[in-house]
Structure 1
């Protein structure tokens, strides 16, 4: 293999697994402008009769958003859901230390998900809440009978919502979370909550907040594992400072591009060692390259809410974000046997894929990654072998790290046999040719290449430059050869479709 050339061998008839489309999910929290001024803005000329932003709904439909996790996040650990249905009054949100308008609750979430075409995934309050509160919430959403079902009907919603996906708590393992628990305390609460929730509706699927730690999971799963369906893990790999400064530096970021996969493998091994591999799946239900800017969150002093506006600076989100996001999704595809759901955090505003403003939206680079993967990859993961050179970068801690030039996953349409190859060039400056062979190119009529890129690693989209990072499309014709080569531009995400 020549220097700076990659080789991808494909075995299209060797299916290694099927993806779950839920890995392309999203997350929304009552934080800053995600709900109010984000998806829900009744005073906007862009809102529909329910107060939902029509442009946001259209954008989420385009990327076929399959599931939306809500309402938190740290917010949920003090969320009184019963105050968020029927007659409402604002209240003080102890998580983010602001007044919660409380005009967006369970009924609005379900209505919004229906407009988008997504399944609701409700995270319950395991902080200040109790098992009865959680099971009452299931009753409100899913039953025909009982006090809380009657309240739903009184609120104008006669038929049950049939919410399938539920989570017991958020990050209750962490000292920052209201209602933080030890492993033993958490195991007991999970057991009692799961019992009550599944006695209300045994068809629901339950996730629990977890960490990639053997002892923690052993304690919880030995007590409650048989009542669960998912273990929930979270990950952010680049933190914003309390001064509202987001880390830049492309090399620092690509040095971490495969850390999410390492976390998946760790949890997979933990599940296997405890006898739950194949019984429980991973829901990576909060993830993003960038953590949110929430100054003084860990302190008890006054919160500086003005600094949260740093989340809205679109130049923070560039091709580094796109490359990291594509590598994350490739990792989920590679581990489709255990990763069944993932929720990009968040969908709208903060560090999300969509930015809203008074006159429209901006689609950040990460949005276009979802466009490529949801619309142009397929359900079957087929065997492939990638040989790629590596390059060295210096990570933020000053350590030299080897990073592959190229990351790739091959998918196939089970009905038509069409092939979709997702290729990520992680190098910031160099293009890399990739020779693709083993599938019989002459059997296909040609290929379509869709490449997401910008002029530099720092390229970003904003109100006045909405397409600085965008997808370009080109066609590739085949001769009688059994293989072919394409060139992957620097800092790019490409999906190649063979039809």
Structure 2
């Protein structure tokens, strides 16, 4: 099988927003408690956060993180998580049928985010609460001093404001499962007024309005139209969510869902353009794909569990053992975000630790990287700069999720200094090596910096990293690619993901 690709220096897509490689963490399962926070753990720091987890998080160079939810936020009282920890109330979390101890609240999480060098992206409760509580939360976080909420923060030992600029206006408000679910116009109106109140605290604040929970919702895509018609001029982003699975064990159909995601982004881009034209608006609204990941391995059992268990604290929930196939899929989805970075400015892998996550932990024990950690890490480290338009010519296939799908999946990024190109290449074929050629126009002195490979054998598709075997699926040095006459030439193994870094002039 042959796969050809071409890049021209002058043919670009967009400047990539670094926040394309953001993350999400929710008060759910063991994401917080025994995930990032475990005061009795041997590696815990003075604030009770696990340093072994922090090390893995830092390795991802995450620009921003969405917190505290998720479904959790729609019944959350942020005030429960401030003040002396011993005096904080224990609440029942209706979203995940568990107990929330509130030992981690905004101030603890802010310290963790600072240690991890991550900017906070906070969500307000528009399910059971509204404008007043959102306004108070912003004042507590962002106002310097001299008011009730800012001085209360200072009394809690935080003199300087956090200066949080990204605020999410609720979560999945189109979903009937959501506490406080609303109709589109009702929610759009509330989001508009909340956004105006939040932005009254100063310049630089951006807001994210809820789009569809997924592209199979019966209200999609009219939900986006109705919501944006109410609030377009006062928001910067509309959120999209989508989770993926391969219950049929058909790898090619699974990989073709990336094309399905591309159509989702394009459709909402069209809705945004329609509303902008209808309202004669001058501002632009972009997409914040703030929940995405693979979620299916334990989904049925987890659903049964949380409907039956009796309000436990930090139960094991959505702890997926990601395999090689999932790593290749995640790499492909990140490629799609790069290719559509003119529309998608923020994207958050959901979630970060234990709950459908690139990082897993054992309570009292070790932390390890799942298979999806590595393509996410490569994209975050090397996918910043200018997205390049990559022309591809290769054999195609058709499946239920999409037709005429390329076996070769490629995204390219020119570094901010213009001195290197990173190519993320996937051979989706389960059994054929691909003869790969990448031509580069407008670049000189092309040299291979490194080639890393994951996969190469579809018979290993279901192998996963675990606590006892944390290094089954890791990148290795590639051996069959080189630069010949200014072009990249060689082989991409079957069923593989490759990181190809090139120096250029």
Deviations 1:145-198 (A, max 9, x none): 321111100000001000111101001111000000001211221122112211
Aligned to 2:226: 219
Superposed CA offset, 1:60-87 (max 9, x none): 1111011111111110000010111113
1:288 maps to which of 287, 290, 293:
293
Q: Distance in 2 between matches of 1:227 and 1:90?
A: 36
Equivalent position of 1:115 in the other structure: 115
1:320 and 2:314 matched: no
The partner residue of 2:75 within 48, 73, 78 is 78
Alpha carbons 2:319, 2:357 under 8 Å: kept: no
Seen in structure 2, the aligned counterparts of structure 1 residues 444 and 202 have a Cα distance that, compared at 3 Å, is closer
* CA-CA distance at 1:105 after TM superposition: 0.6
Asked if 1 retains the 8 angstrom alpha-carbon contact of 2:302 and 2:317, the reply is no
Please give the alpha-carbon distance, in whole angstroms, between the structure 1 residues aligned to 2:102 and 2:317.
Answer: 24
Work out the CA distance in 1 between the residues paired with 2:406 and 2:334. 16
The secondary structure found in structure 1 opposite 2:299 is: coil
Partner of 1:242: none
Cα gap change, 1:419/1:117 in structure 2, threshold over 3 Å: closer, same or farther? Answer: same
1:438 match: secondary structure: strand
Match of 2:477?
Answer: 473
Deviates more, 1:125-134 or 1:434-443: 434-443
Partner of 2:396: 390
Preserved CA contact (<8 Å) 2:29 2:317: no
What is residue 342 of structure 1 aligned with on the other side? 347
Paired residues for 1:52-131 under 5 Å: 52-87=49-84, 88-131=88-131
State the secondary structure of the residue aligned to 1:265.
helix
Match in the other structure for 1:261: 262
> How far did residue 402 of structure 1 move?
4.8
Deviation per CA, 1:212-270: give whole Å up to 9, x if none: 6443233222222111111011111229xxxxxx7754344223232221111111111
> Which residue of structure 1 aligns with residue 199 of structure 2?
198
User: d(CA) in 1 for partners of 2:199 and 2:444?
Assistant: 54
* Residue in 1 that maps onto 2:179: 178
* CA contact 1:318–1:460 (8 Å) conserved in 2: yes
In 2, Cα distance between equivalents of 1:152 and 1:428: 56
- Partners in 1 of 2:310 and 2:245 — Cα distance? 21
Contact residue 456 and residue 494 of structure 2 kept, 8 A: no
Residue 417 (structure 2) aligns with: 415
- 1:107-130 deviation per Cα after TM superposition (whole angstroms, max 9, x unaligned): 111111111111111111111111
Q: Which runs of 5+ in 2 are unaligned?
A: none
Structure 1 residues 119 and 311 mapped into 2: Cα distance closer, same or farther (>3 Å)? Answer: same
Q: Say which SS state the counterpart of residue 200 (structure 1) adopts.
A: coil
Change (3 A) 1:385 1:400: closer
Of 464, 468, 473 in structure 2, the residue corresponding to residue 460 of structure 1 is: 464
Partners of 1:293 and 1:308 within 8 A in 2: no
Q: 5+ unaligned residues in a row in structure 1: which ranges?
A: 240-245
Contact 2:192 2:235 in 1 (8 A): no
Q: Name the SS of the counterpart of 1:266 in structure 2.
A: helix
User: Is this contact kept in 2: 1:294–1:308, CA < 8 A?
Assistant: no
Please, what TM-score do these two structures have when normalized by structure 2? Answer: 0.89
1:6 is displaced (CA, Å) by: 0.6
Alignment of 1:498 with 2:502, yes or no, is yes
Work out whether 1:35 is the aligned partner of 2:40. Answer: no
**What CA distance in whole angstroms lies between the structure 1 residues aligned with 2:336 and 2:117?**
25
Residue in structure 2 matched with residue 243 of structure 1 by the alignment: none
Structure 1 residue 454: Cα displacement: 6.5
Is 1:369–2:366 an aligned residue pair? no
The CA deviation string for residues 379-433 of structure 1, in whole angstroms up to 9 with x for no partner, is: 111232101112355x5xxx89553211101111231421111101222222212
The number of aligned residues is 483
Structure 2: distance between partners of 1:176 and 1:408: 37
CA–CA distance in structure 2, aligned partners of residues 178 and 49 of structure 1: 35
Mapped partners of 1:491, 1:310: distance in 2 = 30
- 1:470 CA drift (Å): 0.8
- Residues 269 and 51 (structure 1), Cα distance of their counterparts in 2 relative to 1, 3 Å cut: same
Distance 1:15 1:441, change over 3 A: closer
Cα contact 2:255–2:329 (8 A) shared by 1: yes
Q: Which moved more, 1:287-296 or 1:250-259?
A: 287-296
Quote the Cα distance in structure 2 between the aligned partners of 1:490 and 1:143: 55
Q: Which moved more, 1:275-284 or 1:54-63?
A: 275-284
Name which of 20, 32, 36 aligns with 1:23.
20
